[in-house]
A and B are shown apart, each in its own frame.
Chain A
Amino acid sequence: MSLLAYDFMQRALVAAVLTGLAAPAIGTYLVQKRLALLGDGIGHIALTGVALGLLTGRAPLLTAVLVAVAGATLIELLRLRGRASGDVALALFFYGGIAAGVLLTGLAGGSAATLTSYLFGALTTVSNADLVLVAVLAGLVLAVSLGLAPQLFAVCQDEEHARVAGLRVGAYSVLISVLAAVTVTLAMRTVGLLLVSALMVVPVAAAQQLTRAFRATLALAMSLGVVAAVSGVWASFYADTAPGPTIVLLALAGFVLASPAGGWLRRSRRVHTPFEEDDAPTGVVGAAGGVAGAGIAVGAHDRAEHHPHRHGEGCGHLAVEHGDHVDYVHDGHRHVPHDDHYDEH
């Protein structure tokens, strides 16, 4: 019996593909910002949103989105204002979110078991309405994280430079957090809140074993995410395992394979270029002369002398007054200019 014969498996596959694309896309920026665990923290905050939905009788997916977005924004604001470092801000919300989630679920008359489908995903119970919401959110995440890639890259790479480039760093940072929150909640049904962070981080970690460029990392991470998600759904159907954990373990297997492959790739590159380009012997540099050499092309310093370095203003050696002339301290002894050479003093 083919897996595609079942409606619920078709929906599961579509949801898995969307998650597999969106989670690594935004995850790449989180890893770049060295906030790889942000997704995990937001997942715990979203738990409060789920519980709120259960308590008020609204769709848990919707309340989870709202609460996760609010929490992610607050984490980023705390970090930007310098009131708490990124990891401490994350920890505060991490624990607050899971405590409030369990507490509110209890108030709603549910138990921890009620939360299980959100913690670990319930891919096969995705409804058509769920799927529409997941598709809209994934489309939003992909549109922003690919469309604004140059801006987001610059903000995550170097906040200071981004600010001077006229980018509104605060707004972009909050945007990244909000996108992460949206991704977490859309992945809630596929891999679950506890494992969503894995799908945001593991494909990126695997991809960067093999890449040198940001764009290539982003593209490869998204490809790996989709492969892991689809093959995870496939494998879980035939092996009768839980889809969420299967997807995550397959992604991790991708990392395990990529890591030695990356090492081999780097070694083979090194064989082609065994030496750095600018490993020129430093003794030659500077023969054109200290002060006079400033502003002269680098290529013009080939004239090697007995004493290859010419002392002068700013040559890096300590200048010492010595009677009517200046000595330069050089490797523990003193040099004094004399015609075209240096005497030892």
Chain B
Amino acid sequence: MLSGMSDQPAPAALRAHDLTVALGGRPVVRRVDLDVRPGEFVTVLGGNGSGKSTLVRAATGLVPHLSGGAWLFGVPVAAFRDWHRLGYVPQRPSAASGVPATVREVVAAGRLSRRRLLRPLARGDRAAVDHALSAVDLADRAGDSVAELSGGQQQRALIARALATEPDLLVLDEPTAGVDLAHQRLLAEVLAAHSARGVAIVLVAHELGPLARLVDRVVVMRDGRVIFDGTPDAEAAAFSHSHDHHPVDPHVTGGARADVLGPGWQVGGAR
């Protein structure tokens, strides 16, 4: 992992500067700065309504921002065209739609940003789809309708779709919701491999589970602001013996997710 590297000449894979986003006239993200370097694995944590999802959606151009700026690989997001460098797993209850589609068809949509109009899937596209399907352990379900899969399996299909893009930046919005522990481990392994290859990863979550060990940096959001940004180790050193000064209010984030912040964190949630 590439934590600790700084002053890289390469532009940040994802950058937000002084970013403010309003939804329905209400500011949801307030003047947030975030830089994610190539190869870096960043987790954005926070409770419901903390703005973590909106932050990555604005940074990838899915929702417009009110002020400040967002860049992908050094290009302002409004002018960004190299979409094949971005893999995105949206927060979505289901991968299904009104018409049946196989898991393979859904995952193959991840290749669209690399395909030209009116060209069939090339051999390389098929290989990437196959690879992504086996990475999330769905190769044997490739021909099944996504609607027939369980919620966790559908979530894995959406992750495979992002992996099939073969991106340089992976943005995952709560990808482990409903995914069982064994497959969270599998996902951790897949993300670790991508991270080691230099893929930048932004993971929005409210709990980390088996992914905790992979994270280079933790960003904690509350009320639309970043209230912590640092390495898990730095956090551990700073906070492991002073639980009362914990930046995350267990009543806000839900006390049951005690160790969302990675190694060294123990929240006295049951006091």
Contact = CB atoms under 8 A, between A and B. Distances in A.
Contacts of B118: 147-148
Interface string A224-262: 000000000000000000000000000000000000000
Contact of B112 (A150, A156, A217): A150
A34 B98 CA distance: 6
Contacts of A95: none
B112 A154 contact: yes
Contacts of B181: 282, 285-286, 316
Contact of A165 (B92, B101, B110): B110
B185 A295 contact: yes
Given A158-B90, A165-B113, A313 B102 contact: no
Contacts of B255: 318
A157 B97 contact: yes
B102 A213 contact: yes
A179 to B, nearest CB: 16
Contact of B100 (A34, A213, A280, A320): A213
B161 A161 contact: yes
A204 B150 CA distance: 24
Interface in B172-222: 180-183, 185-186, 188-189, 192, 207-214
Interface stretch (B9-17, B31-39, B81-89): B81-89
A314 B259 contact: yes
A295 B112 contact: no
Contacts of A318: 255-256, 258, 269-270
A277 interface: yes
B98 A160 contact: no
B87 to A, nearest CB: 8
A301 interface: yes
Contacts of A31: 98-99
Interface in B101-140: 101-102, 105-106, 108-110, 112-113, 115, 117-118, 137, 140
B15 to A, nearest CB: 17
Interface string B136-150: 010011011100101
Give the one of A151, A153, A212 with max B CB within 10 A: A212
B153 interface: yes
A343 interface: no
A276 interface: yes
Contacts of A326: 266
Contacts of A314: 207-212, 259-260, 262
B49 interface: no
Interface residues of B, number: 71
B112 A165 contact: yes
Given A153-B109, A164-B83, A316-B209, A28 B92 contact: no
Contact of A294 (B98, B109, B145, B212): B212
B60 interface: yes
A282 to B, nearest CB: 7
A160 B140 contact: no
B61 interface: yes
Contact of B259 (A156, A211, A319): A319
Given A278-B137, A291-B263, A296-B189, A321 B97 contact: no
A298 interface: yes
Give the one of B92, B98, B186, B214 with max A CB within 10 A: B98
A285 B207 CA distance: 19
A316 B97 CA distance: 31
Interface residues of A, number: 58
Nearest to B110: A165
B19 interface: no
A165 B109 contact: yes
A329 B267 CA distance: 13
Contacts of B106: 157
Contacts of A313: 208, 212-213, 259, 262-263, 265
B74 interface: no
Contacts of B207: 314, 316
Give the one of B61, B95, B144, B185 with max A CB within 10 A: B185
A166 interface: yes
Interface string A268-309: 000000001110101001100011011111100100000000
B210 A293 contact: yes
Nearest to A326: B266
Contacts of B161: 161
B62 A164 contact: yes
A277 B140 contact: yes
Contacts of B102: 212-214
Interface string A305-345: 00000001111101111000010010000000000000000
Contacts of A286: 181-182
A294 B259 contact: no
A295 B188 contact: yes
Given A32-B98, A314-B209, 16 more contacts: A150-B112, A158-B97, A160-B88, A165-B83, A166-B81, A212-B145, A213-B105, A277-B141, A280-B182, A285-B182, A295-B192, A296-B189, A298-B137, A314-B260, A315-B209, A315-B259
Q: Which 5 A-B pairs have the closest CB atoms?
A: A166-B83, A319-B258, A212-B145, A294-B210, A164-B88
30 contacts: A33-B97, A34-B98, A150-B109, A151-B112, A156-B98, A160-B88, A163-B62, A165-B110, A165-B113, A165-B165, A166-B84, A212-B148, A213-B143, A214-B99, A217-B100, A278-B180, A278-B182, A282-B181, A293-B210, A294-B185, A295-B213, A301-B185, A313-B213, A313-B259, A314-B262, A316-B181, A320-B268, A321-B243, A321-B266, A329-B270
